[in-house]
Chain A
Amino acid sequence: MSVPAVADSPSVAPLETPARRPGADLWRAVARNRKAVVGALLLLFFFVLAIFPGQIAPYAPTGEEFGRGLPPSSAHWFGTTAYGQDVLSQLIWGTRQSLAIAFAVGGLATLISVLIGVSAAYFGGFTDGFLSLVTDVILVIPIFPLIIVIAAYERNSGMVTLVVVLGLLGWSYGARQLRSQALSLRNRDFLEAARVRGERGLYVVFFEILPTMTSLIVASFLGAALYAVLFAAGLQFIGLGDPNSQSWGTMLYWAENNEALGAGMAYWAIMPGVCIALLGAAFALLNYAFDEISNPALRRRKLEQKGAESLHTAPVPEVAADPTKILEVRGLSVAYASDAGPVVAVDNVDLDLGRGEFLGIVGESGCGKSTLLYAIARLLGAPLAGEITGGQILFKGRDMVTLGERELRHIRWREYSVVMQSAMNALNPVLTVEAQMRDALEAHSKMSKREMHARAEEVLRLVSIDPVHLHSYPHQLSGGMRQRAMIAMALLFTPDLIIMDEPTSALDVVAQRSLMVQIKELQERLGFAVIFVTHDMSLVSHFSDRLLVMYAAQVAEYGDTRQLFERPLHPYTQGLLEAFPSIRGEKVRLTGIPGAPPDLLRPPSGCRFAPRCPHVHERCMIGPPLYEVDGDLVRCVLYEHEREAALAQ
């Protein structure tokens, strides 16, 4: 597959992004996060103080050489203590111990939590049960009082005791988190591969499991360090530390004993707390930032308006709505915000739907078919900030794009409803089936309780579910029943249009088939129109009136289902059909389509299918428009002559 170079043509972006080290990604993410940067700078500041106290501090921390309880002055920024020591110098010298405790405890606790958490997950069974129990017990025993009990027996304990005790008691939270993450990794493919390769347990743990948990390990280190700073300071403050040590907690202890606040030495009592709070804040900010990095949903990306406008395709001409159609989509474009810029997931799509018509939308995953569907339903938004950047969606004559959320609410579910891919995820797990039907009925009608119950029973019977299941919670139903219950829910108001996103993909083949038959029967009986998205072309072949094939955010082919199956025009459609075995046809070799769909962030500049197309040639370097061939639409230069012929006529 070589594309001849064409002068002045923009170079085709590489299809695969080069493999990057996960560490580099993490580092970049940290550097971009404002909270992480502030936290890191604070930490750096304290590090400098801890390493060079002698150079930075103006005086020795212990020398009792100045006036007692002096107010702040240029010589003593924060005044002096009741013993005639410089508060600022004590603060600077105290940094060392707080940081040392934080890092020693953080390190020790993290080490234990990794050992316990990962081995519990890795070994499973009894080991897991026992280790998890120990973890949970330590987690709920109030640690600080326990430390006080220990310190009470071991008075004026030195730093080593403090670190050991804090470390031995502070690992449980991290261990719990690491265990659950390691558990979710246990059955991943790459671990299976390592096991098949015959790699030994320890190797797998250290080189396969641990690197994937970097951000969680860092988070548990930061959490343990934060708790160590606070608890150590608390212990020293109540006089259970070494009263001669140079630390912020000890400063507070002496300040409190001398009633510094009331005696005009406020800085003596306030500043050590400020330092503890700042060091704590540094750890907390970093911890929070790592949380955000490992859970991308917490970060919020905004589609840059400037970028989005340039995506706006040619303006849609003002054409009156066709009264015979219930849905007309014109020039619809949708973009997502990403760290690397806007991603156009739906690019200038046109489609229409008559009353009671069944339209199938097919394509590989990631081609934008679900995005198109949710854009039509006006359900874009969280978790990915997808936005309609252009076009019209005329539903029964109204442009849905311009409707506000409040106006949309009136037509939702009454006039069009949605059936999602997995009912397990789409049904609220804490409400019964009836409660979830009732809230829709309450939102759009003034039915009495009895009427609502009757309607809920009625729609459940429509999909052949026993009405006793109205009182069931979603997790109590089988997979097939859940999907049917969701379809029943979509029928509550017998809408004109039901939008279905792969409603059968979670089911086995037999259940898929019977659900399809049921959907078709209901459709014929109740007369609603259907938009049905699937990646399985054979599934819709017997049920849809028309088919729309999507490839890389664009319409590749759009036409009558039967014609499209008998004479697929686009090389991509041909490839899709060859990927499925025909039941009745002759025995043919399944060829499928080599390669993978392009990255929508950088789609190929010409025809988007060109890199995978068996018929690729020079003219594919320029993106083709949709050509009309025998009433069907197809985006491929192979059919250019058809249009020329049509124009010539």
Chain B
Amino acid sequence: MRFIVRRLGFFLVTLWAAVTLNFLIPRLMPGNAVLAMMSRYKGHVNPQAMHALQIAFGIKAHESLLHAYFTYLGNIVRGDFGISLTFFPDTVSHQVLQALPWTLMLVGTTTILAFVLGTFIGLISAWRRGGSLDGLLPPIFVITSAFPYFWLALLAIWLFSIKLGWFPESGGYDVTTTVAWSWDFISDAIYHSILPAMTILITAIGGWILTMRNNTISVLAEDYVRMARAKGLSPWRIMWTYAGRNAILPNLVGFAMSLGFVVSGAILVEFVFNYPGVGWMFLQSVENQDYALMQALFLMITVAVLLAILVADGATAMLDPRTRDRS
């Protein structure tokens, strides 16, 4: 219990750090990007948009930095991220909520799938040490894990869409179908998500395979695995409850640590595929200098990663009694 409380504390500290960075970065940049931007926009956008910017940056005339900071914090706590310039006059929050399900479905599913599959393959590979699987996989995945996601996405589009015509080139769904909870729409969305999903899966899975394999190899050298052999347990039982269950614990920590990397890659994959998710919207906002939207999306991505880490922590606490007892 105390473990979870401590992790919650860490969650809040990290969230606060991200929010503060968000507030400080535009002000710390050379030439104070915020002021420069405000003067640039003055007269070009209507007062409502101006107000949106003021909310995004917590800026009002003649306010001290500290006061601005607290105004900003207050807005964020209320979920008021201002108004999007790109999708004017829609609010940032509404836009973010529209993009969110797409990313959750695509990136969330593939990340979990990559972790589960990678962990499983890593375990088997280490268990059959020296077998053909183990001889082949590690070198291959050392290399694929170094691939740039976006390049693999380009390659996938070139091969499977342009050359072979198997999958659509871009988008999350066919614009001619109506967005609704209908089978047509869902199957179309799945069809559109196959290429981007495979791209993320192939680049992300290598890391999990390698760490799980190496963890398992270390665990297999432990006395308790030898003890399990001495007890004459079935190889299946030894692999899962003795080797696997202990080897997955550091992998869960690794999951938390490399999640940011996977999400970064996913952003670019969405960009390449014009996939209507958070990552694509994030880069759109950068392109359109829609800073309010950009900042909100950055926070969103951070919160998503932090939530995933909390889930990993919960799983660790469930699987490892020592974590539960540690104060």
Q: Chain B: which residue is nearest A148 at the CB level?
A: B286
Give the A-B pair count, Cβ closer than 8 A.
246
CB-defined contacts of A412 to chain B, threshold 8 Å: 229-232
CB-defined contacts of B145 to chain A, threshold 8 Å: 284
Binds B, one of A333-341, A423-431, A540-548, A554-562: A423-431
The 0/1 profile, CB within 8 Å of B marked 1, for residues 230-249 of chain A is: 11011001111000000000
**Interfacial residues of chain A within 123-175, with CB under 8 A of chain B in the complex:** 133, 136-137, 139-146, 148-154, 173
With A and B bound together, what is the CA distance between A103 and B306 in angstroms? Answer: 30
A269, CB-defined interface residue at 8 Å: yes
> Would A428 and B246 be within 8 Å (CB), given that A262-B162, A269-B154, A285-B143 are in contact?
yes
**Interfacial residues of chain B within 286-316, with CB under 8 A of chain A in the complex:** 286-287, 289, 291, 294-295, 297-298, 301-302, 305-306, 309
> Would A427 and B224 be within 8 Å (CB), given that A237-B268, A439-B231 are in contact?
yes
With A and B bound together, what is the CA distance between A266 and B158 in angstroms? Answer: 8
With A and B bound together, what is the CA distance between A381 and B223 in angstroms? Answer: 12
CB-based contact B146/A429 at 8 Å: no
CB-defined contacts of A352 to chain B, threshold 8 Å: none
A291, CB-defined interface residue at 8 Å: yes
Q: Chain A: which residue is nearest B262 at the CB level?
A: A142
CB-based contact B233/A261 at 8 Å: no
> Would A430 and B245 be within 8 Å (CB), given that A144-B260, A149-B295 are in contact?
yes
A298: contacting residue among B214, B222, B226, B235, CB under 8 A: B214
The smallest beta-carbon distance between A180 and chain B, in angstroms, is: 12
The smallest beta-carbon distance between B43 and chain A, in angstroms, is: 22
The smallest beta-carbon distance between A108 and chain B, in angstroms, is: 19
CB-based contact B232/A413 at 8 Å: yes
The smallest beta-carbon distance between B158 and chain A, in angstroms, is: 4
CB-based contact B13/A133 at 8 Å: yes
With A and B bound together, what is the CA distance between A362 and B281 in angstroms? Answer: 71
CB-based contact B25/A150 at 8 Å: yes
A420, CB-defined interface residue at 8 Å: yes
With A and B bound together, what is the CA distance between A622 and B297 in angstroms? Answer: 80
B104, CB-defined interface residue at 8 Å: no
CB-defined contacts of B306 to chain A, threshold 8 Å: 140
B231: contacting residue among A136, A153, A285, A443, CB under 8 A: A443
A276: contacting residue among B21, B151, B263, CB under 8 A: B151
B4, CB-defined interface residue at 8 Å: no
CB-based contact A152/B291 at 8 Å: yes
CB-defined contacts of A149 to chain B, threshold 8 Å: 22, 25, 294-295, 298
CB-defined contacts of A281 to chain B, threshold 8 Å: 142-143, 146
CB-defined contacts of B150 to chain A, threshold 8 Å: 234, 237, 252
> Would A475 and B264 be within 8 Å (CB), given that A146-B21, A281-B146 are in contact?
no
A288, CB-defined interface residue at 8 Å: yes
CB-defined contacts of A353 to chain B, threshold 8 Å: none
B217, CB-defined interface residue at 8 Å: yes
CB-defined contacts of B289 to chain A, threshold 8 Å: 152
CB-defined contacts of B226 to chain A, threshold 8 Å: 374, 379, 381, 420, 426
B29, CB-defined interface residue at 8 Å: yes
CB-defined contacts of A539 to chain B, threshold 8 Å: none
B89, CB-defined interface residue at 8 Å: no
Q: Chain A: which residue is nearest B264 at the CB level?
A: A144
> Would A439 and B260 be within 8 Å (CB), given that A152-B286, A226-B146 are in contact?
no
Task: Classify the interface of chain B: helix, strand, loop or mixed.
Answer: helix
Binds A, one of B62-70, B92-100, B113-121, B317-325: B317-325
B194, CB-defined interface residue at 8 Å: no
CB-based contact A417/B230 at 8 Å: yes
Q: Chain A: which residue is nearest B214 at the CB level?
A: A298
B157, CB-defined interface residue at 8 Å: yes
CB-based contact B232/A414 at 8 Å: yes
B234, CB-defined interface residue at 8 Å: yes
CB-based contact B256/A140 at 8 Å: yes
CB-based contact A300/B154 at 8 Å: no
B257, CB-defined interface residue at 8 Å: yes
The smallest beta-carbon distance between B300 and chain A, in angstroms, is: 9
CB-based contact A428/B217 at 8 Å: no
B282, CB-defined interface residue at 8 Å: yes
B214: contacting residue among A284, A291, A418, CB under 8 A: A291
A270: contacting residue among B138, B158, B237, B322, CB under 8 A: B158
B271, CB-defined interface residue at 8 Å: yes
Q: Chain A: which residue is nearest B324 at the CB level?
A: A473
> Would A430 and B148 be within 8 Å (CB), given that A137-B13, A261-B157 are in contact?
no
CB-defined contacts of A237 to chain B, threshold 8 Å: 148, 150, 268
With A and B bound together, what is the CA distance between A280 and B17 in angstroms? Answer: 31
With A and B bound together, what is the CA distance between A38 and B49 in angstroms? Answer: 56
CB-based contact A420/B223 at 8 Å: yes
The smallest beta-carbon distance between A335 and chain B, in angstroms, is: 18
B232: contacting residue among A234, A410, A428, CB under 8 A: A410
With A and B bound together, what is the CA distance between A430 and B237 in angstroms? Answer: 14
The smallest beta-carbon distance between B83 and chain A, in angstroms, is: 18
With A and B bound together, what is the CA distance between A120 and B245 in angstroms? Answer: 31
A440: contacting residue among B223, B231, B257, B268, CB under 8 A: B231
CB-based contact B325/A230 at 8 Å: no
**Interfacial residues of chain A within 323-349, with CB under 8 A of chain B in the complex:** none
A383, CB-defined interface residue at 8 Å: yes
With A and B bound together, what is the CA distance between A148 and B309 in angstroms? Answer: 22
CB-defined contacts of B231 to chain A, threshold 8 Å: 412-413, 417, 439-440, 443, 489
The 0/1 profile, CB within 8 Å of B marked 1, for residues 259-299 of chain A is: 00110001001101100110011011100100100010110
B29: contacting residue among A153, A238, A383, CB under 8 A: A153
Q: Chain A: which residue is nearest B283 at the CB level?
A: A238
A-B contact pairs, 13 of them (CB 8 A): A139-B257, A140-B257, A141-B305, A144-B264, A146-B21, A153-B25, A270-B155, A281-B146, A285-B143, A412-B229, A412-B231, A425-B223, A430-B322
List chain B positions with a Cβ less than 8 A from chain A. Answer: 10, 13-14, 17-18, 21-22, 25-26, 29-30, 33, 129-130, 138-139, 142-143, 145-152, 154-155, 157-158, 162, 210, 214, 217-218, 220-235, 237, 241-242, 245-246, 249, 256-257, 259-261, 263-265, 267-268, 271-272, 282-283, 286-287, 289, 291, 294-295, 297-298, 301-302, 305-306, 309, 319-322, 325
Complex A-B, nearest 10 residue pairs according to Cβ-Cβ distance, in ascending order = A144-B264, A412-B232, A280-B146, A273-B151, A383-B221, A425-B223, A142-B260, A284-B146, A153-B33, A418-B230
List chain A positions with a Cβ less than 8 A from chain B. Answer: 35, 133, 136-137, 139-146, 148-154, 173, 226-227, 230-231, 233-234, 237-240, 252, 256, 261-262, 266, 269-270, 272-273, 276-277, 280-281, 283-285, 288, 291, 295, 297-298, 300, 374, 377, 379, 381-383, 405, 408-414, 417-418, 420-422, 425-431, 439-440, 443-444, 473, 475-476, 489
Apart from A234-B268, A272-B151, what 7 extra A-B contacts exist at CB < 8 Å?
A140-B306, A144-B260, A152-B286, A252-B154, A420-B223, A430-B322, A476-B321
